Structure 1
Amino acid sequence: MIITIVYLTLFFSSCLTSCPRRCRCDSPRTIQCYRISTIPSNIAADIGKLYISHSKIRHLQFSDFSEMSGLQELVLFSSGMETIENNTFKALNDLKVMEVWSNKLTSIPRSLPSKLEVLKLGDNSIHSFNPPDFGGLTKLRVLEVPNNLLNTLSFEVFSPLSNLQTLILDGNGMHTISGVAYLPNLKYLNLENNKLMFFYENFFTHLPSLEYLRLAGNQLVRVPPQLPKSLLSLRLDRNNIKSVRARDLRQLESLFDLNLSGNQLLSADGLQVATNLTSLDVSKNQLSTLPQKLPSKLQRLDYSNNQISRIMVQDMKGLASLKHLFLDNNGMILFEDKALQWCVHLSNLAMEQNLLTSVPLGLPVTLSRLDLKGNKIDEVGVHDVKHLKHLRVLNLRNNKLTSIDDEVLESLPRLRHLYLDGNPWNCTCHLLKVRTLLLDKGTDIKEGQCAEPPYCRGERWMSSNTMLRQCETYTSDKGKESKRKLKVSKVSTGKSHTEDDDYDYDAEY
């Protein structure tokens, strides 16, 4: 045992003393180098991982790596790389991971090692792929070439990559994709933030295992045809799609996540055929009504930033699994009583920036968050909220409230976050009882400022000494305790609490 320890000590000591200049040798087979101008020549042949970053190495050649036969992982980040000589990596027979990020490469390095499994070339200046680029890379699983200069792409170039599972080509400015490649194991394809307008009819039929497809930020005018049945998640946000037809989605039996936000949708009746959807985002479109029938398994539905002026009971029928519903910024003037009676698991409801004049009646008892910011609500009655025993977040900011009944707050035993700022509060003695109750409950509150009466206008009513002095008759029994709590409240209400739209609507409260 002692001999082993001595041997290891000498071994590590030898490794550290021979560590190249401007490099760190934290372990015998891992070296990290910074701000170097050439590949170090005194690196051991059995080195396993080499990381080089923030350097000035403009050119690579065969001699740079000819002695590193055991290298398995090579990372060259922000190193000024412009050219790589043919056969530079020929000696690296065991190389599995190669990352050349944020450099100045204009083409794919030639003659890459056949055992390569991961190739990442993001943030370079690669403008085209050539047929020989990926020849022999039958073990490649991950290929990432985002944020380069690929204007056009012939998909046939990927044909040798029979084991490819992840392909990322976002942010290239591509106008067209021609050709096809049979990639039986591809599961994740990212073509976001390009300029693609269409896909040929049979393009996706050659990707039979595709599960995640990212096409956001393009110029598509319709849902791509013949999408594979294996698809689980489809992102089409920020395109120019005007309608969703049943035939576009009928074959997607496994699809659970669909994002169509930021298009030009006028109609979305075809959504009903995607029967296994659990998450649907159609925000930032031009929809004036909800589809006649939505998938019954939906758990998250985002219809914000559309033109839906009213929600009726029939609109939400059958959505028993719904947990999160967003109806913000719709100009909504009518929300029918008990419109959500079918939503027996609804936890979060957001209806900010609409034209509602009252809290909708008959909201589900399961609600934990209710956001009514930016409406025209001038009163909240006990009958509006008394059944919401699980409510933890209530947002009523920027409405027309002048007062609020303390019985409303007493009826919400689990309330922890209350947003009341932006209302024209009339800071009469009635509010004193409300603020005492809030302090006793320990509620995190954004209270807002007094609009009336003139003597306390502009003061925050949770910490207004003027209001306290004017209402001594209300504090005769608890005057000292109230004043002590108010001093604390001046500190606690001044903290930065959860802001306007920072709610995590996926969190379980």
Structure 2
Amino acid sequence: MKVFLTPLMPFLLFVVLPDGTFSSDCPKHCSCSTPESILCFQRRSSTIPTGVPPSTKHLYLFANGIESLTPEGFSGLENLEMLDLSQNKIKELPDKVFGHLTSLRNLDLSSNQITHISEDCFKGMALLERLYLYSNHIKTIHPAAFNGLEQLLELKLQGNQLTSLPTLSMPRLLLLDLRFNVLPILGAADLQTPNLESLKLGGVGLISLDEKLIAGLSNLHDLDISGNQLKTFPPVLTEARGLIHLSLAGNPMGPLKVHDLQNLGELRELDISSLSLQGLPEEFSELFPHLKKLTIAENPFNCLCNLAWFPRWLRAQGITLERTQETRCHFPPRNAGKVLERLDHREFGCPTTTTVKTSTVKTSTSLSVPVTTVPSTTRAIAVPRPSENPKDKEVDFPLPPIPASPSSSSIDPEVDQHFCPSNTCLNGGTCRLDQHGHIECNCPHGTSGIYCELQGHHRPSPPEVEIPVATVTADTPDISTRHVTSTSILLDLHRYIEMRPYIRGIRLTYCNLSGPDRRPMQLNLPASYPEYRLRGLRPNSTYTVCASPMGAPSGIDSVCTEAQTTAQNSATEARIEDKTTMLVPAIAILLLVVLIATAVGVVCFLRRKRIKGHLDLDCEPSQLELEGVKAGLDNGQLPQKQPELMIPEPAVQNGNLEYEVLLLQDHCTSNNNMSSHKPSYF
């Protein structure tokens, strides 16, 4: 009797499921963890499976290789509520193809090859709440394609090839995702969705944000307008007081002003990365009392004293800085390439406070330099200094302590003296502290800017320490690169500056020709910088770098060069190759040990099999339970489907894509020789 039962044991284990459901109730190559849920994976079939029980409510058919759909394939499935057909090869949707699915509430057709949405393909789906069509090749949608979908809550169309949008009249719609299409103009007539809470318009080519469109969305909480062509901050956002999540990243709108953001006090997440910001005003910390996440990556920050408040504010408010490694300093050179959040207060070059005792001088002769003392207060000692320009304002400078006169009879209290850090102001400028303790630069005649970095036609006097100038010839390019590493490029600007003595500053523009993101980055440098190192670059990539006079129109007197960063692991690979010969004996010994262990294991396995006479499982097959793929669905877990989004990389980096995934938890191990056919999901 034992001879006949042994071959049947594996078969019986896989025929009867843990819940008592026989596999005969399941379609071929599918798994039925509960009577109402069916998961089919790795079927490699061009059609939907047959034999699906009429009681099925959730049917998952993602990544099956399905190429076509027919209405007859869904016949008898009137109870189906969830249908996942994502990551297949479907090219078209026949009219009324889902007509039998009168109870369907969630339909996922993402990551297929659909090119057109016809008038009647969703006919009869009056209860549909979520429709996912993202990452297809959709070019056109019939104006009446979504008519009748009045219960729709979510519509996702991102990552297609749409150039126009039919009027969306959906009174209950809460989420609309249109990212990465070509929709430069969207008006209030296009979106008749009064209850919309989340609108995603990233990368659609917007030139302006329609005021009537946003004003008509009184419940809007989440707005993404990143990666567009907005040259100024949209004024309508000053009235959008209910926003909680806002992304402005990657627009050419330049620095933000405090009054632009002052009415957005309810924000909890803000993305202002890639806006060419060089700093943030300290008033920024008072605008967002509820902020929890902030993204300011890929901005050329000037990490000077006026930005020292920022890391301290992040820690005090418990704010998470997203993309921390991409949030680095570009200026001054001592901080270039450093992670902004990790800078100590002293690294920002803020002035230190020292205590100096001064004495009141009692004498009949007048001092050449007056001393100001206040009996019961502490303040900086200031003296007027004649300016080179009569129109310049008088600037206070610290006064060294004056030795006490023999006739002195009283000593004033201690007075704090504030000193500016050296090399803060450029081109011979001198620095001082204003009444708030912020650094201000007194610029010589002919220079201007926050740090005197801009020069006019009158060159300032040369610095005390001479900068070595490279020897140039007629064949020397105006700009060149040297000392290239895996993440930085050192630019030689000697000749560019020498040939253009009239320029006030240099505008550097660089972009990565090898990576997925080719958006140019801009930096403004003073004309006194003969060398500058670009940092935070990608390894093994080709960069083009262009220099042009600051303030000149784009392309005028522009000189460009190219350089390629080195591979990051080249040195490591070389060391590995040198040690290869040393590893050969050790590998041979290891292989011998493995062969011996394998032989012993086989002998033990055969003896054990001979004794037991049948195969044992270390655990029972785990049950597949449903997890809520969409909000409000059942709880549980399913295999996670691999995302195959045809969407540009930056959107994936930002974590903004809202495709839902499933999880497979199957930890059952066996001691038999049957191969496990688990899917390799993301």
TM-score bucket of the superposed structures, by smaller chain: 0.5 to 0.7
2:201 pairs, out of 248, 257, 260, with: 260
CA distance in 2, matches of 1:349, 1:95: 45
Matched, 1:184 2:184: no
Matched, 1:104 2:47: no
Any residues of structure 2 matched to 1:63-74 within 5 Å, and which?
65=24, 71=25
Matched, 1:375 2:375: no
Aligned to 1:292: 235
| Offset of residue 307 of structure 1 | 0.8
Compared CA separation, residues 221 and 333, structure 1 to 2 (3 A): farther
1:303 pairs, out of 226, 237, 248, with: 248
Letter of the 1:237 counterpart: R
Aligned to 1:214: 156
Compared CA separation, residues 334 and 152, structure 1 to 2 (3 A): same
Q: Deviations over 1:215-272 (max 9, x none)?
A: 11111123442241111111212212212212223x3222212222222222222333
User: For the Cα contact (< 8 Å) 2:119–2:143, is it kept in 1?
Assistant: no
User: For the Cα contact (< 8 Å) 2:129–2:153, is it kept in 1?
Assistant: yes
Aligned to 1:244: 186
For residue 261 of structure 1, give the secondary structure of its aligned residue in structure 2. coil
Compared CA separation, residues 128 and 503, structure 1 to 2 (3 A): closer
Letter of the 2:269 counterpart: H
Any residues of structure 2 matched to 1:118-133 within 5 Å, and which?
118-133=58-73
Q: Deviations over 1:480-505 (max 9, x none)?
A: xxxxxxxxxxxxxxxxxxxxx99999
User: For the Cα contact (< 8 Å) 1:96–1:118, is it kept in 2?
Assistant: yes
Unaligned runs of 5+ in 1: 1-15, 32-45, 51-64, 66-70, 79-91, 355-373, 405-416, 431-500
CA distance in 2, matches of 1:234, 1:502: 20
CA distance in 2, matches of 1:75, 1:297: 51
User: For the Cα contact (< 8 Å) 1:352–1:375, is it kept in 2?
Assistant: no
User: For the Cα contact (< 8 Å) 1:212–1:232, is it kept in 2?
Assistant: yes
| Offset of residue 281 of structure 1 | 1.4
Letter of the 2:214 counterpart: L
CA distance in 2, matches of 1:262, 1:192: 14
For residue 105 of structure 1, give the secondary structure of its aligned residue in structure 2. coil
Compared CA separation, residues 22 and 281, structure 1 to 2 (3 A): farther
Compared CA separation, residues 272 and 23, structure 1 to 2 (3 A): farther
CA distance in 2, matches of 1:18, 1:335: 73
Aligned to 2:10: 21
Any residues of structure 2 matched to 1:60-459 within 5 Å, and which?
65=24, 71=25, 76=29, 96-110=36-50, 112-180=52-120, 181-249=123-191, 251-269=192-210, 270-294=213-237, 295-332=240-277, 338=283, 343-354=288-299, 374-380=300-306, 389-390=316-317, 397-401=328-332, 418-420=341-343
| Offset of residue 402 of structure 1 | 6.7
**Does 392-401 or 203-212 show the bigger shift?**
392-401
Q: Deviations over 1:108-131 (max 9, x none)?
A: 345643222222222123222223
CA distance in 2, matches of 1:352, 1:21: 56
| Offset of residue 403 of structure 1 | 7.4
CA distance in 2, matches of 1:114, 1:223: 37
CA distance in 2, matches of 1:273, 1:348: 27
Taking only aligned residues, the RMSD between alpha carbons, in angstroms, comes to 3.9
Letter of the 1:378 counterpart: L
Aligned to 1:364: none
CA distance in 1, matches of 2:226, 2:308: 32
CA distance in 2, matches of 1:203, 1:186: 13
The number of residue pairs the alignment matches comes to: 335
CA distance in 1, matches of 2:229, 2:275: 10
| Offset of residue 205 of structure 1 | 2.3
Matched, 1:30 2:32: no
**Does 318-327 or 375-384 show the bigger shift?**
375-384
| Offset of residue 187 of structure 1 | 1.1
| Offset of residue 193 of structure 1 | 0.8
Letter of the 1:76 counterpart: H
Q: Deviations over 1:90-141 (max 9, x none)?
A: xx9x953332222221123456432222222221232222232222221111
Structure number with greater Rg is 2
Q: Deviations over 1:402-447 (max 9, x none)?
A: 779xxxxxxxxxxxx94239x9999xx99xxxxxxxxxxxxxxxxx
| Offset of residue 165 of structure 1 | 0.9
For residue 189 of structure 1, give the secondary structure of its aligned residue in structure 2. strand
Letter of the 1:273 counterpart: G
CA distance in 2, matches of 1:99, 1:383: 53
| Offset of residue 347 of structure 1 | 3.7
| Offset of residue 196 of structure 1 | 0.7
| Offset of residue 323 of structure 1 | 1.6
CA distance in 1, matches of 2:310, 2:74: 64
Aligned to 1:485: none
The percent identity for this pair of structures is 26
CA distance in 2, matches of 1:392, 1:133: 51
Letter of the 1:130 counterpart: T
- The TM-score, its normalising length taken from structure 1, stands at 0.57
CA distance in 2, matches of 1:183, 1:215: 18
User: For the Cα contact (< 8 Å) 2:71–2:99, is it kept in 1?
Assistant: no
User: For the Cα contact (< 8 Å) 2:80–2:101, is it kept in 1?
Assistant: yes
CA distance in 1, matches of 2:655, 2:68: 41
Any residues of structure 2 matched to 1:462-481 within 5 Å, and which?
none
